[in-house]
Structure 1
Amino acid sequence: MRTVYPLVRYRDAGKAVEWLVQAFGFEVHELHTTADGGVGHGELIAGTGMIMTSPGEPGGPGVYVAVDDPDAHHARAVAAGAEVTMEPADKDYGSRDYACKDLEGNIWYFGTYRP
């Protein structure tokens, strides 16, 4: 059972959900719409984890997501227009990681580390 849900804010949460699915391979679990038809709350699944999206100003400390193949994941993100801030690299703690910004500047980290 999940107990921690990172929350990522976007000025255009609907557009962000579409991009996160395309760029990072998330699956939509649930979307709640606002009275004007926008996305007010989104729940996206990545493996056994879940993130939540909501409208608001982007920013914050970032989100780390464990993936099986960071190099293939990196290629997918780049193809979707992600701004890479750290190229894929082997880390001294045994993980292979990379980092990028999404379409509104939130920082995402992806790698093989699974605490």
Structure 2
Amino acid sequence: MHETKSEAVRAATRTRQDAGVWLTLQAHDAPALIDFLVGTVGFRRTAVYQDGEIVEHAQLDWPEGGGVMLGSYRPDSPVTLMPGTAGAYVVTDHVDALYRRLADAGVRITREIQDRPYGSRGFTIQDPEGNAWAFGTYRGEPA
């Protein structure tokens, strides 16, 4: 039996890990930041809408849930976010392997991998725009 397109969309929606909060960024060189986050860090390129070098909107999903939305920096936009000023925390069950892969790729590590007193193991990097990305095992406290 073949799935119809709407059945496939419903199935994908049921299995996707929805995130209620999304980090948003603007970048001086959005295509390069997308390439870094996808090719080096490991995000998935879900959607990119661009006109030449200007990225109107991009959605990058983290394989373990959640993601980031970003676009090109536009100082005249009603919603302007200064590139390089964001910080994000990304949960991963594979923190040691991710750390080794990013270190081997020459990514700027700003906090070495370590165990934290609140039960997390993690590290922090800086992306080419200057944003801080912390990766760790801590999933937050139960509500």
Q: TM exceeds 0.5?
A: yes
Question: Is contact 1:22-1:80 (8 Å) kept?
Answer: no
Conserved in 2, the CA contact under 8 Å of 1:28 and 1:43? Answer: yes
Structure 2 residue 58 is matched with structure 1 residue 42 = yes
Contact kept, 8 Å, 1:23 with 1:79, in 2: the verdict is no
Task: Tell me which residue corresponds to 2:19.
Answer: 2
Q: 2:102 aligns with which of 77, 80, 86?
A: 77
Count of matched residue positions in the alignment of Structure 1 and Structure 2: 114
**Which is strand-richer, 1 or 2?**
1
Q: Which runs of 5+ in 2 are unaligned?
A: 1-17, 74-81
Q: State how far apart, in whole Å, the 2-side matches of 1:20 and 1:88 are.
A: 19
- Counterpart of 1:75 in 2: which secondary structure? helix
SS for the counterpart of 1:60 is: coil
| Rg larger for | 2
Calculate the TM-score normalised by the size of structure 1: 0.90
RMSD: 1.5
Q: Taking structure 2 as the reference length, what is the TM-score of the superposition?
A: 0.73
What is aligned with 1:54? 71
Deviates more, 1:84-93 or 1:9-18: 9-18
Divergent runs of 4+, >4 A: none
Tell me by how many angstroms 1:22 deviates. 1.7
